[in-house]
Amino acid sequence: MSIFLILAPYGVFASLMLVTSALMSVLAAATVCLAVILLDAARGRSVKILGAGSAVLFAGIGGYLALIDPALAGSKVKLAVDAGIFTISAGSILIRYPFTLQYALESVHPETAAMPGFLRANYMITGAWTAATLLMMLSNLAMLYVPGLPIWTSLVIAFAARNSAVYFTKWYPSYRKLKHSTPPAEALPTAH
């Protein structure tokens, strides 16, 4: 699945937080999560840890906003989303099934999945996403507890963290393949 669809719920949430209520933002994000899950199911793919966990997270926050505290500050809602995504990501590592593994297994040949280092690469990529969400969570905490901090600071950190994780996700498999593949015969030194 393309990284665009994987990140779509979070993009919808972040974009809508700029123009509408937190409740509408999380409910729209939950709806997008469910749409991606249904698309996966229609294609015969598995339900993903990240997608299902995010749907529950967004719906849970939406329920909290609708039933308990409709006036919860947007910065606290963003913090709750980042904390939830961090928990899903770190939790997948702790249960020894990094969330990226499900996506990887559906997009590579079985012989690639059987290669030594395939699982380790997924731990590394999931770790990069976990670190990115931790940075975003810390930037939201700073916005809450450091008065006078410009809002663009949090946006820059979130943008840089997310884009770094996207870049690492694309770069690291190529790096591993290059590092651990057998060089072509013409590249090997010849004995004299």
pLDDT at 115: 85
pLDDT at 117: 87
The C-alpha atoms of residue 125 and residue 177 are separated, in whole angstroms, by: 14
**Tally of CB atoms within 10 A around 60:** 14
The percent of residues above 70 in pLDDT, for the chain, comes to 93
The C-alpha atoms of residue 131 and residue 112 are separated, in whole angstroms, by: 26
Tokens matching residue 172: 């690291």
pLDDT at 116: 80
Query: Are residues 99 and 126 in contact, defined by beta-carbon separation less than 8 angstroms?
Result: yes
Tokens matching residue 134: 């931790």
Judged by average pLDDT, the poorest of 1-10, 51-60, 153-162 is: 1-10
Query: Are residues 174 and 153 in contact, defined by beta-carbon separation less than 8 angstroms?
Result: no
pLDDT above 60 for 65:
yes
Residue range 70-89: mean pLDDT, rounded: 95
Domain boundaries, the chain: 3-181
Q: Measured over all CA atoms, what is the biggest interatomic distance in the chain, rounded to whole angstroms?
A: 80
Residue range 82-88: mean pLDDT, rounded: 96
Residue 152 vs residues 60, 143, 149, 155: alpha-carbon distances, Å:
28, 10, 9, 5
pLDDT above 60 for 103:
yes
Residue type at position 85 = I
Query: Are residues 54 and 33 in contact, defined by beta-carbon separation less than 8 angstroms?
Result: yes
pLDDT at 178: 79
DSSP 68: T
pLDDT above 50 for 189:
no
Q: What is the pLDDT of residues 10-44, one digit of tens each?
A: 999 999 999 999 999 999 999 999 999 999 999 99
The C-alpha atoms of residue 21 and residue 152 are separated, in whole angstroms, by: 20
Q: What is the pLDDT of residues 134-186, one digit of tens each?
A: 999 999 899 889 888 888 888 899 889 999 999 999 999 888 877 766 544 44
- The b-or-e profile of 2-17 (16+ CB within 10 A means b, else e) is eeeebebbbebbbebb
The C-alpha atoms of residue 85 and residue 57 are separated, in whole angstroms, by: 8
Nearest to 132 by CA among 185, 184, 169: 169
